[in-house]
Amino acid sequence: MQLQGKTIVVTGVSSGIGAEVVRIARFAGARVIGVDRNDPSLTLDGFVKADLSSVAAIDAAVAQLPERFDALCNIAGVPGTAPVKLVADINYLGLRHLTEQALPRIPRGGSIVNVASILGAEWPQRLAPHKALAAAQSFEAGAHWLRDHPVPQESCYQYFKEALIVWSATQSQQWFLDRGVRMNCVAPGPVFTPILGDFVSMLGQERVQADAHRMLRPGFADEIAPVIAWLCSDEARWISGANIPVDGGLASTYI
């Protein structure tokens, strides 16, 4: 994997998968600019402190990014134990707004990578509402649509990961055709990160116990990060609109 000479913007750099993407990308020769609401604990080539839950905060963060960069990795997110509005604002509406604002700075041949989840695999069951939400063409329009179509707390994380996969797929080809910028998703299974406990609480012990036999163990952040970094490289130049599971085979056990 060659990232020499590339500049990559990574959100959620202060822990977990985001921090591992930083390490791998810099080792492969990239210049990495981090974005996070918490201060980083590793070496970066630049850092923007931002809470990615509002249009104003996102616009202010984008204004501090380089005028040109080669890839954007959207890794920042909150678990489903957070309030529904916050999950929507950060995991979907804010991510989408950040990506749209950053797009003009990404040159032809560039890449966008969104971190989804194995929990988004049931998107076909709700394709119509996810496409309707994707058609809401601004943060505020999306928020208005969600006020009219409320999402339950117990399924909000899954819902917005599904919505992210659908938006990424439906938007990606137009950007690839018009701008030559690829957009893909990576869908991890359970991962040993600081918020793993929140996911256990969110799913409940019954669901966790039922799924335990399906996998060898939860993944490690450094098993997810290389796939994200690779999607930023020229070796992945013909991959766009994909949702790649990185879950130790967990998704395959549902077939």
Quote the CA–CA distance of 31 and 151 in Å, as a whole number.
Answer: 39
Return the domain boundaries, the chain. 7-239
pTM of the shown model: 0.94
Q: Which pLDDT band holds residue 207 (cuts at 50, 70, 90)?
A: low
Give me the mean pLDDT over the 76-105 stretch.
Answer: 97
* pLDDT at residue 111 tops 90: yes
Contact 71, 110 (CB under 8 A): yes
92 annotated active-site: no
* pLDDT at residue 200 tops 80: no
pLDDT tens for 152-188 read 999 999 999 999 999 999 999 999 999 999 999 999 9
Q: Which range has the worst mean pLDDT, 14-18, 66-70, 249-253?
A: 249-253
Contact 185, 115 (CB under 8 A): yes
* pLDDT at residue 208 tops 90: no
**Domain covering 7-239 in this structure, CATH number:** 3.40.50.720
Contact 67, 105 (CB under 8 A): yes
User: Which burial class, exposed, middle or buried, applies to 43 when counting CB atoms under 10 A from its CB (0-12, 13-18, 19+)?
Assistant: exposed
For the beta carbon of residue 138, count every other beta carbon within 10 angstroms.
Answer: 13
Give me the mean pLDDT over the 69-84 stretch.
Answer: 97
| Total residues found in the chain within this entry | 255
